[in-house]
Structure 1
Amino acid sequence: MSDFAQRGNEMSREGVLKSAPRKNFYNRNEDTRPSNSSSAPRRRRSRAGIAPKLFQQLNTATNAVELEEALAQLDEPIWNPKLLVLIMGKLRRFGRPERSLQLFDDAKERGLEINIFMINACISACERLRRWEKALDLLEECKVRGLTPTIVTYNACISACEKVGQWEKALEILNKVKDPDVITYNAAISACEKGGQWERALQLLDEIKNRGLEPSIRSYNASISACEKCGHWRRALQLLSELKRRKLEPTVITYNACISACEKGGQWERALRLLNELRNDEIEPDIITFSAAISACEKGGQWEKALDLFSELRDKRKLEPDIILFNSVISACEKGGQWERALDLLDELKQYGLKPDVITYSAAISACEKGLRWTKALELLDEVKRKGRPDVITYNAAMSACEKCGEFGKALKLFQEVRNQNRSTIITYNVAISALEKMGHWQECIQLLEEATKEKKLEPNVITYCLMISGYEVRGDTVRARSMFDAAQNAGFFSHVWHTPDMIDLHELPAPVAKIAVRTAIERVRDRRAAANTSMSEILTLITGRGSHSEGGESILKPVMTAMLDSTDFSDILKCREDEKNPGKIHLTFGSEETTDQANPESET
């Protein structure tokens, strides 16, 4: 129950004055009402009850210091409600909302008659302080005092809820408002946006239009931001087009939300088009604009464009990059294999007085991993250790750098460090398994897989399955390899392999895994034919790819498949031939000689 509810009926101002000593809000030794004694010197008073000069000083204060200086000159409490509301509002605007609440509590203790304007000022202070529960108590206090909340009261309460993501409470208050205005809806939409309720936000936007109100740019900004946070980039761009049709001028906030929506949706080209659109509208991009655009380029593997944008914001726009922006650029260089540029950026951010965080070091170490610079990776890891505790992502990147460079002992030493800290992930185990497999310690690989999946309860990922399938296949244990392949499929991996029962796609599979996939497909054809007891010819098509994306432009999988199919294990295959129109396909024909001519496989592009 709130304070005002516990007090019950308020004592009159006179009763308070008689029954309790008054506390001085301004830290003076005495706090009494002005004396009516004829012996007291008469001073000229303004309509607010204080000296005109002092009133002018309070009224014209432009910052917290000036206002505090004026308040310090008061030799008595404020009894004028309008002046009190004025001061409370100024305190809130000047960043002293807590003083505004103290002033309100002091007025109540002295028995000053409370009006709705004081309540409104107090709720607005609660909004700044993110004290939404106190704001709702004040709304309830209106009822106890017999005051009628105004639209300002409701708007301030909804905004207080919005600041802390209390979207349900915000909508509850909205339902109590008889005639909400656009400001009311904007606050409610923002509350839904912060609460991840994009559909409700758009419903409220529609409700604005259905009521005959005109949505403002803030209505659209909040709605676009709601879509952005939930990854609905198409809807965000539709809202951008809609607000332009309504002749509203998009702001940098509008474009930032749209660019960020595209970034989250992996639409780097659209993100850059929006950035150009912003420039054409002569809107000045800010650090958030560039951060979202660079992050979009990073996710799209466009490291050169990320560096161009970074140069623009730093050299042309004279903006100060922050650590988040540096992290995005370093990560873009890492994904593009530009390890030297990534390390240059790491040095540059220190020149800006910024401190690299774990994300910075992880990206830089990953760049060293891709550049096969294991010594530099370990130097950076040691630097992180001196500054604090590296996270498991940083360790994983350093381990992978060592493993890829053949420094298996160092990779396994790092694995042991993470293992002892009980922070291993499936990626940590994958790197260790890969190192042990290359060292020829296959039994230890199996033991680590058992440890990861059974003791640590970690879920194997596609890399785990590829490592184990390859290990078994290389050692000629096709039975266990196939069993592991089936387990991977049951876990939802390799779903792209089976286009149809008679066509498998081997793209993106390592050669040993592709061989096991083909063996599995052939066994399925054999089982199907045996169950049907048929001798009719049947075609199984293997999509190996033409080698367009391989180094040298030669297919890697096709010669591997051809060599495997030449073995005696596949004597029941009558023909193995390359597709005439698409050299990235191999057709395997099963059946008797008499029925072979009936087969007519389609050549798909």
Structure 2
Amino acid sequence: MQTLTTCPSKCNYYVLPHLGFELDFYCYIEATSRRRKKLCPDFSVSQSRRTIGYPRLKFDPLLKPKKLDIGYLAPLAWALEDQATDNTSSTDNSSVNGESESINCLNLDEARDGTYEQEMHGGMNSEEDGGVENETKIDVRALALSLQAAKTVEDMEEILKDKGDLPLQVYSTIIRGFGKDKKMDSALILMNFLKRKKIETNGSFSPNLFIYNSLLGAVKQSEQFAEMETIMNEMAQEGITPNVVTYNTLMAIYLEKGEGDKALSILEEIHQKGFTPSAVSYSQALLAYRRMEDGFGALNFFIEFREKYSRGEIGKADDGEDWQTEFVKLENFTIRVCYQVMRRWLVSNDNLSNNVLKLLGDMDNAGIPPGRAELERLVWACTRIDHYTVVKELYGRIRMRYSEISLSVCNHVIWLMGKAKKWWAALEIYEDLLDKGPKPNNMSYELIMSHFNILLSAAKKRGIWRWGVRLLNKMEDKGLKPGSKEWNAVLVACSKASETTAAVQIFKRMVENGEKPTVISYGALLSALEKGKLYDDALRVWDHMVKVGVEPNAYAYTIMASIYTALGNFQRVDAIISEMITLGIELTVVTYNAIISGCARNGMSSEAYEWFHRMKVQNISPNEITYEMLIEALAKDEKPRLAFELYVRAYNEGLNLSSKAYDAVMESSQTYGATIDVSLLGPRPPDKKKKVQIRKTLNEFYDLADVSKKSVPFDRKEIFHSQTEEGSQ
């Protein structure tokens, strides 16, 4: 442990240098053996801005003392006492996500007068006594280290017997140092030594309030809280009345114990005892609300304090506080406490978003809103889906009240919007970056592109081609270059919706924007052309695809097989099947279903039945779609008996055919006079639900994308977005 070293300077002054336990000052003391002269201090006080600081007392060594009184140590003693309170009551070393909770709110008074000095030092008065001055040197650091080894009061007496009469400030410094090093046993032994010395000197030398406050500070530092009650009882027995410093230390102890409510009760006791709370007292109370995570309590406490301050009930001129400065510090501390509580609410497992929003509103009403830094840190604390409303509010506040905002914060908001499936809101944040700044970076681009892809995928899945087109247009408007993935999503949506014209135009725009079409692009376009029965255009697209070296996949081959089936060119259908086998592309039921469906739609039931047998030869099992399409084709082509046999086979294979196939068999048998055993068909299947209407699907998309349902109606001119923009320029 590094303790206090007292050594004489060239001017016969003791020098008290910087202490390891955070005592930061120099003071000059002239030592004599018989007579002590008072040194008039010329000192200044400075404190840390971030943490409740320790006073730096600078005494002018050029002032030659005329008389000496032990009371000249009062400024030093008072500074040490206030520092002990600072350490124990106003500095909180715990943190939330690595951020300090401390605040600087304690100012030092001017040096106290002789009356105060006598009270602090037990009434030891100076005496004018001529004599020879003998220099003495006390190495307090070494003394403290040696005292640590003492196990009993007798051991300490042995160590101190040759040290003479040491000032009480030396003992208090050592006690506080013991507390800092968590040597509470040594502090208590030293206290017992002082009590024994009181008996030996008939009370002329005894522990005073300063010593007891230091001992309480050691209790707080060493976390030996069980000793607090014993010490307070001893003070009462000795007739030592606690002061504000004592109560502030008690508040700090309760805070360390996690008993914020008891710390607040001490503040009430300060008022009841007739004392004037210091700025430290109020900061301790705010810290208690912070520990209890009661942001509303902290805010209401400050509002009440502010009202009393404005009425002049707090901040009297004779209390030694610079209340104008302390008021500002307490206001800032209140903002910080509320911010930290809101942050704790956000990182808790419970959904306390409504509490955060309410406290933000209450702080606005109180006229002490959090600053940009606090708002941005709160944004970072929002990580869950249920934080969406909070992060939206925080982002809006920053944009409205400040000219700048961190890009990383904007990116975090975009990310959280996407996580909460509020992709359209995320796009609006990106628009703000483009319009208001800061300039988006690669992270912004990647985040917003991922959101676009999610929306485009939803549009593709639901066949909502209009919103797919609108999303592409918005991307281009905002300087985002759609890739093949984005273009393909819209092409597939157009294909699913049988929007042939839209698919052709989107394909053209894709090429014009320098994006090379993939096999998915060609497949979607071929499907749209096939559904629009634009077979010649589809054949030209196929030839172009092969010419540019895009290798067809199973889906593209299937579309072409369906097209050639519709054209009745079964030779080309056979060639496609052979080519697929040669290239190692697996034949599936999907390809055969496309051929059989093409035959059924074009009244070629015999060809459909032939391909049904060919798929059986290829060991490809037909599914419900295969049977239903074939049964309907045979029933329409006056082949009710064959349709009946296929239905019975499917039923026996455990396939669940639709009621439409069942009705087709029954109607065909009755129409064409076929005799069938209806019992073999089984019960009539229930009617399948009708296909979801496009309007319902569109409403689902509105909800998914968080878009207003009153948005501008789609204009088909939006399909030609690129040409329209170029023509207008």
Q: Same fold (TM over 0.5)?
A: no
Which structure ranks higher in relative contact order (CA pairs < 8 Å, sequence separation ≥ 6)? Answer: 2
Q: TM-score per shorter chain, which class?
A: 0.3 to 0.5
The TM-score, its normalising length taken from structure 2, stands at: 0.35
